[in-house]
């Protein structure tokens, strides 16, 4: 084993010599313009007024995305409904910590509720619907508020508390939400999802 290691080390650390074998065939100079120079030239070619207009346009688009993010369209609840949701996650591959200790085995299901508790309800609603908004204000103002549609900054100011927005409907997909308003609470090792008719 030691001999193999030494031999392998020797083979991979041997000096390598290169010979100039000349050129074969016709060669051409590189004509491609560097991308950074291309972008710089494009920016410099735009006059000052046009640049200011483009910057302002970009700022307006950014502001509108912040004040009204892209919504996920969900119908309004028409009938009260309640179901249990298992939040356990299946791990196809093992998970190791920073010291390479296996903390989750491959093929294992892990329920986050074994380690943390959901002590505050999660309320998903459409703040553009004034009935839903007033219903949440009257019943769940102290919950974690998550908008699926609307203006989070405006609602935050109105409710005088932090409001979240479900970007790209990630939580809607995760919890298979079908209508709003929906309220999620803990029920043992499960989550209870309640679709509530706002009134």
- Considering only residues 71 and 185, tell me which one the structure prediction assigns the higher pLDDT: 185
- Checking if the pLDDT of 157 tops 70, the result is yes
- pLDDT at site 15: 57
Provide the whole-model pTM. Answer: 0.68
Written as six digits, the tokens of 19 are 């010979």
Burial class (CB in 10 A: 0-12, 13-18, 19+), 10: exposed
- pLDDT at site 7: 43
Percent of the chain that is helix, strand, coil (3-state, to 5): 35, 20, 40
Strand residue runs (E) in 86-141: 89-91, 95-96, 102-104, 108-110, 122-126
Per DSSP bridges, beta strands 95-96 and 122-126 are unpaired
* DSSP structure string for 62-85: HHHHHHSPPP---PBP-S-EEEEE
Written as six digits, the tokens of 133 are 């908004």
- Checking if the pLDDT of 154 tops 70, the result is yes
Q: What is the pLDDT of residues 112-125, one digit of tens each?
A: 999 999 999 999 99
- Checking if the pLDDT of 174 tops 60, the result is yes
Q: What is the pLDDT of residues 38-96, one digit of tens each?
A: 877 777 777 777 777 777 777 777 766 777 888 888 999 999 999 999 999 999 999 98
């Amino acid at each position: 084993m030691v001999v193999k290691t030494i031999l392998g080390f020797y083979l991979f650390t041997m000096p390598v010599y290169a010979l100039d074998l000349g050129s074969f065939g016709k060669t051409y100079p590189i004509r491609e313009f560097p991308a950074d120079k291309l972008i710089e030239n494009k920016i410099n070619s735009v006059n000052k007024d046009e640049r200011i207009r483009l910057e302002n346009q970009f700022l307006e688009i950014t502001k509108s995305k912040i004040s009204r993010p892209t919504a996920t369209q969900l119908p309004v609840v028409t009938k009260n409904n309640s179901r249990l949701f298992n939040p356990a996650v299946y791990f196809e591959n093992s998970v190791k910590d920073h010291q390479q200790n296996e903390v989750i085995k491959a093929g294992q299901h892990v329920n986050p509720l074994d380690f943390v508790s959901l002590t505050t309800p999660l309320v998903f609603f459409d703040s553009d619907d004034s009935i839903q908004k007033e219903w949440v204000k009257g019943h769940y103002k102290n919950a974690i508020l998550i908008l699926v549609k609307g203006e989070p900054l405006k609602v935050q100011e109105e409710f005088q508390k932090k409001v979240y927005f479900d970007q790209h409907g990630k939580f809607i997909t995760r919890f298979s939400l079908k209508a709003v308003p929906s309220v999620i609470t803990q029920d043992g090792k499960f989550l209870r999802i309640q679709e509530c008719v706002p009134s």
